[in-house]
């Protein structure tokens, strides 16, 4: 009940912001970190429902992907706002890129390790000596902390082909996103009860993921624009969760327009999981807020693994708009 009340209050607040802006529209560009899918449903919904325009924003929504680094688009002026993982934002700030985080959208990590039970991996210690496919970059940190926590040594295989090697039996385990590749495994014929799943957030490794970033200069020159953008985006997420069939129609329109190989069933799974990840626990905390203690826990882990040489000060990195 407490969470329901807080969401209602949030919606009322966002609606009041939406009708308050007057004047010409600000031309804004957003690039997500991946191709169109329900991972970014809130932004698609906010665009299609006119929430950005009501906030005084004329939004162009770009397609992300492996060759389109979102934070680089910020640096080169190709985008006004971008989404990316908290870890990548910290790393870019640590090497001198003048970016700031405006909102922490995903509160709970969706990164998991998956293995076939018939391969003998039933508990964390069973990973010892196994071939594990891992994505590199910021996806790498949590699995390695997991292996260290349980004192196991694995043979890491860089995984560039998603679940293909695992389906062919070339890997004993693989890292996947619960809202995405895990469901792909199920759609390829594996059953839930055939798989051992290790949800890394359940092992003290909950690293918040997708966040909204902009350049520090954009924030300093136009904080009102930043707030209006974040508020409209969160309004899009709230609407998507409360009108999931309509949101799926909007997502599939963007998926089809981009010729993305996907289907409605997969996007429905993704949207449902995004609701869990974004709303977080039942404390009723605001969507989009970054906790200082969580920030430090993630940054300290990155420092230990030499992903960064120093921790950017929290108050310089995070300029929460909530």
Task: Answer yes or no: do 214 and 195 share one domain.
Answer: no
Mean pLDDT of 143-163: 93
**Which range is least confidently modeled, 4-8, 229-233, 249-253, 300-304?**
4-8
How would you label 246-278 residue by residue, b for 16+ Cβ within 10 Å and e otherwise? Answer: ebbebbbebbeeeebebeeebbbbbbebbbbbb
Would the pLDDT of 4 be above 80? no
Domain boundary among 171, 203, 235: 203
Give the bridge partners for 30, in sequence order.
61, 81
Domain extent for 9: 2-108+208-317
Angstrom distance (rounded) from CA 73 to CA 70: 5
Task: Answer yes or no: do 72 and 151 share one domain.
Answer: no
Task: Answer yes or no: do 123 and 97 share one domain.
Answer: no
State the chain's mean pLDDT as an integer: 91
Would the pLDDT of 11 be above 60? no
> Could you report the per-residue pLDDT of 72-93, keeping only the tens digit for each?
999 999 999 999 999 999 999 9
CATH number for position 116: 3.40.190.10
Task: Answer yes or no: do 127 and 91 share one domain.
Answer: no
Angstrom distance (rounded) from CA 35 to CA 31: 10
**Domain count of the fold of the chain:** 2
Mean pLDDT of 126-146: 94
Task: Answer yes or no: do 146 and 98 share one domain.
Answer: no
In this structure, are residues 79 and 46 in contact, taking their beta carbons and an 8 Å threshold?
A: no
Would the pLDDT of 10 be above 90? no
Task: Answer yes or no: do 10 and 81 share one domain.
Answer: yes
User: pLDDT category, 280, cuts 50, 70, 90?
Assistant: confident
Task: Answer yes or no: do 159 and 217 share one domain.
Answer: no
Is 322 domain-assigned? Answer: no
Task: Answer yes or no: do 94 and 216 share one domain.
Answer: yes
């Amino acid at each position: 009940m407490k969470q329901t009340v807080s969401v209602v209050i949030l919606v009322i607040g966002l609606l009041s912001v939406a009708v308050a802006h007057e004047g010409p529209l600000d031309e804004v560009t957003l690039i997500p970190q991946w191709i169109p899918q329900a991972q970014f449903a809130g932004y698609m919904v906010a665009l299609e429902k006119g929430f950005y325009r009501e906030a005084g924003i004329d939004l162009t929504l770009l397609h992300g992907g492996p060759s389109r680094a979102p934070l680089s688009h910020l640096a080169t002026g190709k985008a006004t706002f971008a989404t990316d993982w908290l870890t990548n934002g910290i790393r870019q700030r640590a090497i001198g890129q003048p970016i700031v985080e405006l909102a922490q959208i995903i509160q709970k990590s969706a990164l998991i390790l998956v293995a076939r039970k018939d391969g003998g991996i039933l508990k964390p210690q069973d990973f010892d000596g196994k071939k594990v496919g891992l994505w590199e970059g910021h996806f790498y940190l949590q699995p390695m902390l997991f292996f260290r926590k349980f004192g196991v040594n694995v043979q890491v295989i860089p995984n560039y082909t998603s679940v293909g090697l695992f389906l062919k039996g070339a890997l004993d385990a693989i890292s996947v996103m619960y809202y995405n590749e895990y469901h792909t495994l199920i759609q390829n014929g594996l059953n839930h009860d055939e798989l051992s799943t290790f949800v890394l957030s359940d092992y003290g490794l909950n690293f918040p993921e997708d966040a909204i970033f902009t350049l520090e200069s954009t924030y300093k020159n136009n904080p009102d624009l930043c707030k209006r953008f974040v508020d409209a985006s969160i309004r899009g997420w709230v609407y998507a969760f409360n009108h999931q069939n309509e949101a799926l129609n909007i997502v599939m329109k963007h998926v089809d327009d981009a010729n993305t190989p996907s289907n409605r069933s997969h996007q429905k799974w993704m949207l449902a999981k995004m609701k869990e990840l974004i709303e977080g626990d039942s404390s009723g905390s605001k969507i989009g807020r970054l906790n200082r203690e969580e920030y430090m826990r993630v940054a300290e882990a990155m420092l230990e693994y030499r992903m960064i040489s120093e921790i950017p000060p929290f108050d310089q990195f995070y300029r929460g708009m909530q």
